[in-house]
Every structure is written in C-alpha cells, then in structure tokens.
Structure 1
Amino acid sequence: MKATAKDLRFHSKELLSTVNRGEEVIITYRGKPCAKLVPYDEFEKDKNIKSNLFGMWKDNDIIDDVDSYVRDIRKRRF
C-alpha cells in the first residue's frame, strides 16, 4: 500500500492498523518513496545486520574509556 506524508499525518491510526494486519505501507513525499512502515516482527529479523559503526572504538589505543570521553565532549556544549 502507498500513502502520502499527508496521509501519515492525518490518518496514522488507519495506517498503523494496516501494518498490524501484516501489510507494508510505503510513505511518499512529493511523489517519491521516502519511508516504509513494516510490522515490528519483520523488523526484528533484520536486526542481525551488522553496521560498521558498531564497535568502531573497540581497537582505539588512545581512548581507554569511551563513555567518559563522550561525556566530556558533551559537557563542553552546554
């Protein structure tokens, strides 16, 4: 099923019930597909896909504790 961004805004409950029935909904913006609503169970199957971003600090010799490093960086913003 296809729906526009306006449909998502005004008819989100109906779109969610469509997804709960097992259908996929493709959201279009200005006539081009930009998002896809799928049932949550199908999303869990794709969860095993590995990303290059996860573990990128794993072998970094300069920083021992990544959590404290990120907290220190964020402190400077506020």
Structure 2
Amino acid sequence: MEVSAKELRRKTRLLLDTVERGQAVTITYRGRARARVVPMKKGPERAESVKQDELFGLWADRDDLVDPQAWVRTLRQSRYP
C-alpha cells in the first residue's frame, strides 16, 4: 500500500490497522517514496530487534544522567527566579 504524508497525518489509525493486519505501507512525500512502515516481529526476535535499534538507550552511557528525573527538573526550572 502506498500513501502520501498528508494521508498519514489524517488517517494514522487506519494505516496502523493496515500494518497490524500484516501489510507494509510506503509513505510518499511529493510523489517520492520516503519511508516504509512494516509490522513488528512477534516473540523473542522482536525484543532483540528493539535492543539493536540505534536510538534505544541513546544516553545509557552518560555518567551525568544518573537521575533522569532530577535532570529534567533542572531543565524545566525558570531562568529567572
């Protein structure tokens, strides 16, 4: 199935239902294919594919983020007291 980026924004739920049924969806932007949404694997191979994702645990090796909640609180503080 091929849909435009505009249709993706407007009909996200329907497209996710399509993917859940096992069909891949190609997203186009200005007539050119830009991305592909495919069903996730089930079972233990799914967990392995998530662990191998580049963005999973992106900041896991940072020493300054021992307490992520405290870090977010400092970001949300006002600049001016």
Structure-2-length-normalised TM-score: 0.56
Q: For residues 62 and 4 of structure 2, what CA distance do their matches in structure 1 show?
A: 40
RMSD: 3.4
Q: CA deviation at 1:23?
A: 1.1
Percent identity between the two aligned chains = 37
Q: For residues 24 and 36 of structure 1, what CA distance do their matches in structure 2 show?
A: 7
Structure with bigger helix share is: 1
- Return structure 1 stretches of 4+ with deviation > 6 angstroms: none
Q: For residues 25 and 8 of structure 1, what CA distance do their matches in structure 2 show?
A: 10
**1:72 and 2:77 aligned:** no
Q: For residues 35 and 69 of structure 2, what CA distance do their matches in structure 1 show?
A: 32
**1:54 and 2:56 aligned:** no
Q: Specify the SS of the correspondent of 1:76.
A: coil
Corresponding pairs, count: 74
Q: CA deviation at 1:69?
A: 3.0
Q: Which residue of 1 aligns with 2:6?
A: 6
Structure-1-length-normalised TM-score: 0.57
Higher mean alpha-carbon deviation, 49-58 vs 20-29, is at 49-58
Q: Which residue of 2 aligns with 1:27?
A: 27
For structure 2, the 5+ residue unaligned runs are: none
